[in-house]
Amino acid sequence: MNDKCVTEFFGNMVFGNEAMQQYLPKDTYEALRKTIRNGTHLELDVANAVANAMKIWAVDKGATHFTHWFQPMTGITAEKHDSFISPDGRGNVIMEFSGKALVKGEPDASSFPSGGLRATFEARGYTAWDPTSYAFIKDNTLCIPTAFCSYSGEALDKKTPLLRSMEALNKEALRILRLFGVTDATRVVSSVGAEQEYFLIDKEMYLKRPDLMFCGRTLFGARPPKGQEMDDHYFGAIKQRVSAFMQELDRELWKLGVYAKTRHNEVAPAQHELALVYSEVNIATDHNQLTMELMKSIAAKHGLACLLHEKPFAGINGSGKHNNWSLATDTGVNLLEPGETPYEDAQFLLFLVAVIKAVDEYQDLLRVSVASAGNDHRLGANEAPPAIVSIFLGEELTDILDSIESCSLYSCKEKKLMEIGASVLPHFPKDTTDRNRTSPFAFTGNKFEFRMLGSAFSVAGPNIVINTIVAEVLRKFADVLEGSKDFKTDLSELIKNTISAHKRILFNGNGYDDSWVKEANKRGLSNLRNTPETLPAFIREDSVELFTKHHVFTKQEIHSRYEILLENYSKTINIEALTMLDMVSKKIIPSVILYQKTLAEAACSKKQVDPAISTSLEETLLVKIAELSSALFRKQENLTVQLTEVKGLSDQLELAEGFRNRVFTAMNEVRLIVDELETLVSSDEWGYPTYAEILYSVNE
């Protein structure tokens, strides 16, 4: 594949700007572009013209069906396909697609999570076309990105509140820019580049592990002899089978206009990463959902299984998703770009301290946005940021803020050239700051990298929170400065006072160190260690006031999402517990009994040959395995009891806490015994593929 080939097919399955110009009348094209650019209403006659052109384009590309592609609260996408065909009254068909079918769909809303917003019998829901996200063709189906709401208008999806948060941020950021005399910008958008981590294992291994199939992670597994200790997988040569998968994934993403950019091996065996180029957050969310969907379907074509769980293997690095967030105007100005002299750039500093204040004041909401049963395994596990939210700024920006707070003169540090020690190597400027992989929210040059997301997460939730909390702080700043009689003095005081009030959230050190936990506690920072402990922050009075003030969520939508998140957590642990009990009963205990029989028969055979021969090896193993078997049976029964009793709880928070504190604890006790048994029982007798077999199953 050469460069010319890629440029020729990039975006060819997207009804983007080029296709619009080709298929739409000029006045219709301009009306649609205005809607996309300014968010204005699209009239029905224009929608009809767009729908007809979109249908012609899609049919030309081989599409036979269309679907409203939306993102319900399940965490994945949803679609219902309708064909373009309509009877012509003469026994034949015509291909039709109306403006009404384009802008509105009516899926059954009762079968999607609603958190009590809808009763089972209240089935009607609506999907509404989002013209800011281009339609695309996937599997011969025209996919139309849409929002999803109930019959009574409540958002039942992740796109609607994301679009609302973008509007809130745009409104408040423009107020700030006008104070600095910026009049050419008409829109401010948050942009995101998502880095997606994932595992690839052999499909046959995957199908032999019920825990991977039902739960996405292994519920049992002893540590392999070799994991990631040698650091030889990270950025290593990519195996041919994985490379073939990556190449096809890139091609399919490029056809859909997704800017797949960087691919490489990650730290853990069988772990990899794909990074996308920045897009507006709405588009970036759609593209990341498409990426995860295609990863799974393309992996299957190559005899592989793609694992997006945050922690598929205990003792092995899990997978996260880095959310690189920035602010830019429609004129192309990055508002988080420090420039050559950041200490003299008041506009940059104001937006910077706005983010600092937002993260400090709403750290609990950021933690809520990444809370899940899967991510609880990963956060703070010395492979991911701790559960304590903090900001890394680096040495230069920290020194600048310190000098502003103390009213002292900042001494600019000249950039040095890197001296590597070999004359043939090029000299290049050394960055003024290092990177900090332990920081949850790190400034990385002209953006903030939110590193706490789990691999399977939609990026919508975290960005809804970031957009909204920054919008709120910018609103407060604008309220102060718009009434100022001495703008420069009041601006300087505002920046200085914000730094003083919120510097506790700044931390440039090692987030993995135990001393940081103690220090964070002294500073008054939150340390919400698991999902049931975290989620109540979402429905606190100040949280509800924040989201409702900016029209991102209604009070009912907040409480419904709270219920959905709690319910998802409990359901996840419940499925894992039931899967564990099933695996123990049907395979592990029979395997252990069979191996005990083998050992006993071996000992008897020896004695029959020569009564003087020692059978201490077999007897010692038999005694040890018998003791573990008895312990396993007791722990299995305890898990069953805990599961039964917890299910009797009716309050959703109490239920989630019960699953965390009782069921999850009982599961870990079962696991410890099973993992030890795995090291004792013959691999020929053991019922499931081991970690070593799974992690190194793709070896060519």
Q: What number does CATH give the domain 165-220+232-410+429-553? A: 3.30.590.10
SS3 629: helix
pLDDT of residue 435: 62
Say if residues 618 and 599 touch (Cβ distance below 8 Å): yes
Q: What is the DSSP string of 593-623?
A: HHHHHHHHHHHHHHHHH-TTS--HHHHHHHH
pLDDT of residue 603: 84
pLDDT of residue 122: 57
Question: Please, which residues have CB within 8 angstroms of residue 164's CB and are 6 or more apart in sequence?
Answer: 550, 551, 552, 553
Q: Which fold has domain 570-695?
A: Four Helix Bundle (Hemerythrin (Met), subunit A) (1.20.120)
pLDDT of residue 119: 57
In this structure, what DSSP letter does residue 518 have? H
In this structure, what DSSP letter does residue 504 have? G
Residues 629 and 462: their CA atoms lie apart, in Å, by 45
CATH 1.20.120.1560 in the chain, residue ranges = 570-695
Q: Which residues face 320 on adjacent strands?
A: 454
And the tokens for 10? 């990039």
CATH 3.30.590.10 in the chain, residue ranges = 165-220+232-410+429-553
CATH 3.10.20.70 in the chain, residue ranges = 3-157
pLDDT of residue 41: 72
Second CATH level (architecture) for the domain 3-157:
Roll (3.10)
Residues 620 and 407: their CA atoms lie apart, in Å, by 74
Residues with pLDDT less than 50, the chain: 417-418, 420-421, 423, 425, 427-428
Distance, first Cα to last Cα, the chain: 22
pLDDT of residue 418: 42
Query: Residue 215 region, left (φ>0) first, then alpha (ψ -120 to 50), else beta?
Result: alpha
SS3 320: strand
Say if residues 6 and 254 touch (Cβ distance below 8 Å): yes
Among the listed residues 335, 441, 318, the one whose alpha carbon sits nearest the alpha carbon of residue 383: 318
- Give the residue carrying structure tokens 């010395």: 382
Residues 207 and 674: their CA atoms lie apart, in Å, by 20
pLDDT of residue 413: 60
Question: Please, which residues have CB within 8 angstroms of residue 249's CB and are 6 or more apart in sequence?
Answer: 260, 274, 294, 295, 298
Say whether pTM exceeds 0.85: yes
